[in-house]
Structure 1
Amino acid sequence: MKTWLIAAMTALVLGGCSSVDIADYRNEKPQLDLAHYFDGTVDAWGVFQDRSGKVAKRFKVTIAAQWRGEVGTLDEHFEYSDGSTQRRVWTVTKLADGRYTGRADDVVGEAIGEAQGNALRWRYTMALPVDGSVYHVAFDDWMFLMDDKTMLNRSFMTKFGVELGQVTLSFRKR
């Protein structure tokens, strides 16, 4: 058996054994309420690191967010370090028991999320364009509210269970 195949299978097995549960954060403060935090303008700064840990891209995001009842719109405007820009508009619906669903044009199907305590786990598949091709990449986002203005986000990107890289973001509410 090829060495790379053994390594990939080992990563899949080990990755399945070390899952964090959102309930681990149920008693953490401050309490995260997406409708409260993402209401108004939120700025974010982030990096994408490839699987070796090298920063491959830096970016800034400006988010115009508003809620009408249980439905929120997050209009994200990205500015990348290479000068390129991107826009993503999320429609997020608050369900019972701290659960959320979301949709955006480049998200395949529906995103699912759950908040407990100061944390939100947000999972979805994104249609990610790379060098003229589009790949469906799984995202596992973990957001942690630090105070009423600051939230940290760490996203793990995988394809077929193999980690492709990580995104780290720092949000600041105006």
Structure 2
Amino acid sequence: MIQRRTLLGATAVAPLAALTGCASQNLAGYASEKPVLDLTQYFNGTVDAHGIFQGRSGQIARRFTVVMECSWKGNEGVLDEAFTYSDGTTQRRIWRLTKHADGHYTGTADDVVGTARGQTQGNAFRWGYTLALPVDGKVYHVDFDDWMYLIDERVMLNRATMSKFGVRLGEITLSFTKRT
């Protein structure tokens, strides 16, 4: 009898859990979180990052490090990213950011299609953009949904979902450390 009740209970809860699992995060839910993230302060100076890319299966497909040289003049910022991948290849991306009112940001980079858009609230930053990603001699436009969370004055964590036509292709996890 206990097994049947447990099974019935699990059956009743499973659809609710499935729906909850599909719900997306709400940036406003981070509004009261501390420390408050100010991108112009955090991304100013040198920031080191360590990251992984996991494919759809969860298997780590690529590891990498990034050294970012960041500077701001007024509301205009430059984030110069130098990537080094575990196979020895390198890449460079230079973001040009603009800070707008109410924690909104826009940005461009040579391999970003159109304009990236984001917003901060509390300790979180959500950043969305389309990247022109070269793979085996072809270029694919893939969408990124980046979520960054300031842990303390030096450490920020980043989770990004990469998708195409709404289908998740993989996830990127990064740990940023601001040099003092």
Supply the distance in 1 between the matched residues of 2:103 and 2:67 (Cα, whole angstroms): 25
> Residue in 2 aligned with 1:11?
none
- Paired amino acid for 1:84: T
CA shift, 1:20, in A, is 1.3
Structure 2: any 5+ residue segments left out of the alignment? 1-18
Supply the distance in 2 between the matched residues of 1:50 and 1:103 (Cα, whole angstroms): 26
Which of 98, 102, 106 matches 1:97?
A: 102
Q: Please show how residues 19-168 of structure 1 align to structure 2 within 5 Å.
A: 19-168=24-173
> Residue in 2 aligned with 1:7?
none
Supply the distance in 1 between the matched residues of 2:149 and 2:24 (Cα, whole angstroms): 17
Q: Secondary structure at the match of 1:23?
A: helix
CA shift, 1:54, in A, is 0.4
- Paired amino acid for 1:94: K
> TM-score, structure 2 length as denominator?
0.87
Supply the distance in 1 between the matched residues of 2:23 and 2:152 (Cα, whole angstroms): 28
Supply the distance in 2 between the matched residues of 1:30 and 1:23 (Cα, whole angstroms): 15
How many residues were matched structurally?
161
Supply the distance in 2 between the matched residues of 1:103 and 1:95 (Cα, whole angstroms): 14
CA shift, 1:18, in A, is 1.1
CA shift, 1:19, in A, is 1.8
Q: Secondary structure at the match of 2:28?
A: helix
Supply the distance in 2 between the matched residues of 1:30 and 1:102 (Cα, whole angstroms): 24
CA shift, 1:91, in A, is 0.3
Q: Which has the larger radius of gyration?
A: 2
CA shift, 1:154, in A, is 0.2
CA shift, 1:108, in A, is 0.2
Q: Secondary structure at the match of 1:67?
A: strand
Q: Secondary structure at the match of 2:102?
A: coil
Instruction: Give me the identity figure in percent.
Output: 64
Flag as ranges the 4+ runs of structure 1 deviating above 2 A.
none
Supply the distance in 2 between the matched residues of 1:135 and 1:72 (Cα, whole angstroms): 27
Supply the distance in 1 between the matched residues of 2:24 and 2:52 (Cα, whole angstroms): 24
Higher helix share: 2
Structure 1: any 5+ residue segments left out of the alignment? 1-13
> Residue in 2 aligned with 1:6?
none
> TM-score, structure 1 length as denominator?
0.90
Q: Secondary structure at the match of 1:97?
A: helix
